Amino acid sequence: MKTNSVASAGIRSKAAALREQLNLHNHRYYVLDDPVIPDAEYDRLFRELQSLEQQYPELQTADSPTQRVGGMVLEGFQSVRHQVPMLSLDNAFDDEELVAFDSRIRDRLKYKEEIEYVCEPKLDGIAISLLYRQGVLSRGATRGDGERGEDITANVRTVASIPLRLLGAQVPSLLEVRGEIYLPHAGFKGINEAALAAGEKTFVNPRNAAAGSLRQLDSQITASRPLEMCAYSIGRIEGVDDPESHFDTLEKLRGWGFLVNSHIDVVTGATECMAYYRRLEAERDQLPYDIDGIVYKVNSLALQRRLGFVARAPRWAIARKFPAQEEMTQLLDVEFQVGRTGAVTPVAKLEPVFVGGVTVSNATLHNQDEIARLGIKIGDTVIVRRAGDVIPQIVKVVDERRPGNAQDIRFPSRCPVCGSPVERLGSDAVARCSGGMVCDAQRKEAIKHFASRKALDIEGLGDKLVEQLVDKGLVRSLDGIFHLDRAELAELERMGEKSADNLLVAIEASKSTTLPRFLFALGIREVGEATAKSLAEHFGSMENLRQADQEALQSVEDVGPVVAHFVYEFFRQSDNLTLLDALIAAGVNWPDIEIDESARPLTGEVWVLTGTLENMGRSEAKERLLSLGAKVSGSVSSNTTVVVAGSAAGSKLTKAQKLDIPVIDEQAFVARLAALEKTGTPLP
């Protein structure tokens, strides 16, 4: 609550100390990824500063962490002139052009020795300029046309990795920093999931999402987006000694509190530049953010000054692009494929286009909802995205290129393979063929899965052979694999007697398996390799699993209500039980897993972890509880057995107290675990 009183010297000092603490903690959390206090303590400090600023408005400063939350809605962006023009970079598209760039530099400098370069990942975001006066952020602007950009100061203040005040004792009196604002993959996914849930339009890619977030007139919207900024150069600096190299520049920026990309490296000569390119290209798809190439810069600033500029680009830097991950092409047709679980998936047939390093002619359209969301029609020009080994997908329709004869995509009401009705049950986004193993497509995919390496691992029973076996009617169900005739096999395309003999030997060997492999091979919906292993180790035998109800199933690690439902229903369908009996009769066998119940004294109990555990991580605590037979839940209910409350425990602790559920602190929890793991006897 605002007052008219003037803050005393003590209160001013307290506010300044809080600002300094919070800015340092922001830097450790968002830039160094090394927090030293729990979130609850940060929140306490933040609220304390916020309260002081509300009570004494004159205490609110430009570098206050409270200014990151966004402010008044602007009517528009003002145009501002950059202190120093923000130039473009020339491009190299292959090794030959990179070598030519290096040769030009050495020729101009009359250098015979190799040049030292700084290699930087080229982040796929929005270039910005940040201006600091006396160490405090005073302006943020977009690149614009290089000479003038848009003033987005209110928005850049909300980006947590941008320091509002420079760190350190020796800071420039004036500093203009260039960098890239981008949206990490996790943040992009979260924004689009929220948009879908709200029935709003989603973003095409992280770069578009970052640009859209920065150009919000309401900075509170920008504040809600998890943007990051990496600094990569200085435009102007006054009041401190100039750095001697570009790498020194980056180190100074790091010291003043900026996030600098951790993959930046210094190399010598064109050969090492090319090696760096190949290394980052291989890592590209594992990075938590998008990069679209590498930027090479002469490291020595003295050499940079000698080399100078040409037109609107520096002679001392060049960008080498990776193969594009997005390209435009035309949607020629849509086919519908049927998978192992009956899922009917629309597949786009495209005019072939080179994207993500390969030629793409097919892309997934996922389901009916995705077709409706995209508003796509046959004949449309579309943007296709492919990243690494990810299945290519259509991310956007280029509406202005839609032809007059574009056709609607009609989802089939009957299976395109067997003619059975296509059903979409409840809230399931996927439409499915109801034919089950009557459907050749489902039968083929089920057999392929059953014989795959992580299932029964039948060597020689590959996809092409499975297609033949089903098409010729030689296998009609999974147990049919174990009744194949040698003579019929030998007559199949690319088989012969020796191949038939080898396959029959492999089939015979596959009969002796393990319970986890067999469960995975059955292809129960949502039961992957890890879940199959958890189920097998928990119940020990097929009979125990068949008799388990949904509540018992949910006591297994990683098994929630959805998986429990699918497993329970699988073992209640007569066709599945008949198949199990047929497989056992054919000789498929596995040993039961002996369960030592004395080692699982918490079986049937539900535990909840809340707050910060100081002596062990949450994941370790969960793992140890699961090993003792407990189920670890994320929420408190009347079924909860015990709540472990660490420091800064919140609403879960409050709810447990209201429901009169036993609550223990971390010290008691550690003691109880030790006793259980040693003797198997719970403490009172």
Known catalytic residues are 122
Q: What is the DSSP letter of 591?
A: P
Beta strand residue intervals within 226-307, DSSP E: 228-238, 265-268, 291-298
- Listed residue (513, 379, 371, 361) closest to 450, CA to CA: 513
User: Phi/psi at 507 (nearest 5 deg)?
Assistant: -65, -45
Q: Which H/E stretch holds residue 330?
A: strand 326-338
Residues forming beta bridges with residue 178, ordered by sequence position: 129, 233
Residue 68 CA to residue 143 CA, distance in Å, equals 22
The β-bridge relationship of strands 116-123 and 291-298 is: antiparallel
Contact (Cβ atoms closer than 8 angstroms) between residue 107 and residue 113: no
Three-state secondary structure readout of 105-143: HHHHHCCCCCCEEEEEEEECCEEEEEEEECCEEEEEEEC
Residue 596 CA to residue 624 CA, distance in Å, equals 16
Give the CA distances from residue 563 to residues 338, 423, 526, 620, in Å, rounded to whole numbers and listed in that order. Answer: 22, 20, 6, 24
Residue type at 557 in one-letter notation: E
Give the CA distances from residue 3 to residues 56, 138, 268, in Å, rounded to whole numbers and listed in that order. Answer: 6, 27, 62
Residue 449 CA to residue 455 CA, distance in Å, equals 7
- Listed residue (368, 391, 396, 366) closest to 380, CA to CA: 396
Please name the residue that has the structure tokens 């020194």.
Answer: 248
Residue 68 CA to residue 62 CA, distance in Å, equals 10
Three-state secondary structure readout of 52-77: HHHHCHHHCCCCCHHHHHCCCCCCCC
Residue 177 CA to residue 79 CA, distance in Å, equals 18
CA count, 13 A, side-chain hemisphere, 606: 14
Beta strand residue intervals within 536-651, DSSP E: 606-610, 631-633, 642-645
